[in-house]
């Protein structure tokens, strides 16, 4: 659960099916050849392979993006989706959380270190070690 009080909302299967059909019909990326029937990344235009497909919130879910077909993008997981998540979405959400914490005083209290006397040190012994008595007779 986030500071804004809601859990992450994944896209329902009906939205994912519509988005996948859309990415198979048309490629909206300029300079990339449209290949009808072949799924292409809606961000970079690369052909999507099994295991490298992600349904990306165009407006981040953490900032109020709804799980609708208009907010769903079918992107390749690497590099497009991971780059957007790590370079755009996460910094924006961290900033929103920091502003929210500062506005409502939600920062944790500073902890002071517990100071103590420590352990007692043994008294200093100013004597030489004694010889072992059982070897004295040799």
Q: Would you state the structure tokens that stand for residue 101, as one six-digit string?
A: 């914490």
User: Does 50 reside within a domain?
Assistant: yes
Please determine, for residue 85, whether its predicted confidence score (pLDDT) is greater than 60. Answer: yes
Mean pLDDT rounded to a whole number for the chain: 85
Please tell me whether the peptide bond between 19 and the residue prior to it is cis, using omega within 30 degrees of 0.
no
CA distance 56 to 54: 6
Count the domains in the chain: 1
In-domain check, residue 63: yes
pTM of the model: 0.68
Residues 33 and 90: beta-carbon distance below 8 Å: no
- State yes or no: pLDDT of 134 exceeds 80: no
Residue 131 maps to a domain? no
| Per-residue pLDDT, 34 | 84
CA–CA dist 67, 116 (Å, integer): 55
Specify if 8 maps to a domain: no
Domain that includes residue 66, residue range: 13-104
Output 108 or 1, whichever has higher pLDDT.
Answer: 108
Residue 35 forms part of a structural domain: yes
CA dist., res. 20 & res. 2, Å (int): 29
Q: Could you tell me the pLDDT band of residue 56, with boundaries at 50, 70 and 90?
A: very high
In eight-state DSSP terms, residue 47 is B
Confidence bin at 135 (pLDDT 50/70/90): low
Distance in angstroms (rounded) separating the CA atoms of residues 54 and 72: 10
Q: Cα separation of 84 and 25, whole Å?
A: 24
pLDDT at position 49 is 93
Tokens of 19: 């988005």
On the question of pLDDT at 125 being above 70, the answer is yes
């Amino acid at each position: 659960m986030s500071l804004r009080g809601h859990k992450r909302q994944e896209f329902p299967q009906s939205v994912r099916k519509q988005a996948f059909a859309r990415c198979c019909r048309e490629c909206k990326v300029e300079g990339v050849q449209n290949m009808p029937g072949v799924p292409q990344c809606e961000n970079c235009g690369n052909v999507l392979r099994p295991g490298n497909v992600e349904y990306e919130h165009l407006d981040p879910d953490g900032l109020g993006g709804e799980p609708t077909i208009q907010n769903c993008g079918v992107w390749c997981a690497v590099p497009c989706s991971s780059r957007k998540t790590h370079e755009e979405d996460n910094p924006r959400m961290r900033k929103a959380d920091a502003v929210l914490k500062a506005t409502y005083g939600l920062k944790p209290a500073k902890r002071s270190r517990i100071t103590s006397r420590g352990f007692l040190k043994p008294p200093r012994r100013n004597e030489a070690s004694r010889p072992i008595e059982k070897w004295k007779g040799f």
